Amino acid sequence: MQKSTITMTGAEPFFFPSGKVGCLLVHGLTGTPKEMRWMGEYLHQRGISVMGIRLAGHATDPADLPRTRWRDWLASVEDGFHLLSGACEQIFLAGLSLGGALSLYAASYLPAQGVISISAPYQLPPDWRLNFIHLIKHLQPRVPKGPPDWHNPQAAADHLEYPDYPTASIAELRDLLAELRQILPHVNLPALIVHSRADQGVSPENAIKILNALGSPQKEILWVENSGHVVVREPDRQMVFERVCRFIQSHTPSE
């Protein structure tokens, strides 16, 4: 079966050119570039070029995602970085959830100025089934999502995502996070970690573990209170956008 090439309406990648400082925006697992669009619009209005990429297997058809591997998702980040580098001299990596984990991983080797991780996991919750997930994925191809933790009903109503998690993709996420834990001490870029204390999708302790594991001498954490997992579309988003903008500006070399 061929992969779908039709992007979901409203879930298209975006590029808003502005100055020579750019930010690559990476969405989460089963999500779409739309998750990052409000943040992109905010940064663009403040003179920062932004590109919101579509991860491989996402924003098309749910059947496409189980065929992809975590290195395919990472390749999407690399492609976006190289595209954005054609318009920008300094680039920051910023991602939500899986996108945050991919951004942190990519920050270990791409020539970026800094990295912003939002609602990112450090590891999956303990579950004995993870030890057998490469077998389980053949018996149970998909896993239902848990109860939503939205604080913004309007954003929840028009959120675009796949309806469930492919078990194969959970296996890939587990493998990615195992690699990420090994590589975080080698990430020495300035880093901003953002997490909601009310996140029911990725527990807040993940943010602390990421912060402690990072090798960067310049790292900080921003806690928000009135948001669920998708912080960038929640009531605290303005605070997050402002801090991200200040972070980018403070780590941009002056001319």
Give yes or no for a contact between 21 and 254, defined as CB atoms under 8 angstroms apart.
no
pLDDT > 90: percent of the chain: 89
Residue-level length of the chain:
255
User: Residue 2's pLDDT is what?
Assistant: 44
CA distance 176 to 107: 14
Averaged pLDDT score across all residues of the chain: 95
Q: Is the pLDDT of residue 75 over 50?
A: yes
pLDDT digits (tens, 9 = 90+) for 39-67: 999 999 999 999 999 999 999 999 999 99
User: Residue 131's pLDDT is what?
Assistant: 84
Of 199, 216, 227, 236, which one is the catalytic site residue?
A: 199
- Whole-prediction pTM value? 0.96
Region 11-27: mean pLDDT is 97
Give kind and range of the element (H or E) at residue 93.
strand 90-96
| β-pair type (90-96, 21-26) | parallel
pLDDT band at residue 129, thresholds of 50, 70 and 90?
A: confident
pLDDT digits (tens, 9 = 90+) for 177-197: 999 999 999 999 999 999 999
User: Residue 136's pLDDT is what?
Assistant: 85
Q: Is the pLDDT of residue 1 over 70?
A: no
* Three-class DSSP labels, 20-45: CEEEEEECCCCCCHHHHHHHHHHHHH
> Does 97 participate in catalysis according to the annotation?
yes
pLDDT > 70: percent of the chain: 97
> Does 199 participate in catalysis according to the annotation?
yes
Q: Helix, strand or coil for residue 192?
A: strand
Axis crossing angle, helix 167-183 with helix 98-106, rounded to the nearest 10: 40
Of 49, 64, 76, 97, which one is the catalytic site residue?
A: 97
Whether the CA torsion 73, 230, 210, 48 is positive or negative: it is: positive
Of 27, 227, 229, 236, which one is the catalytic site residue?
A: 229
> Does 254 participate in catalysis according to the annotation?
no
Q: Which of 13-17, 47-51, 121-125, 135-139 has the lowest mean pLDDT?
A: 135-139
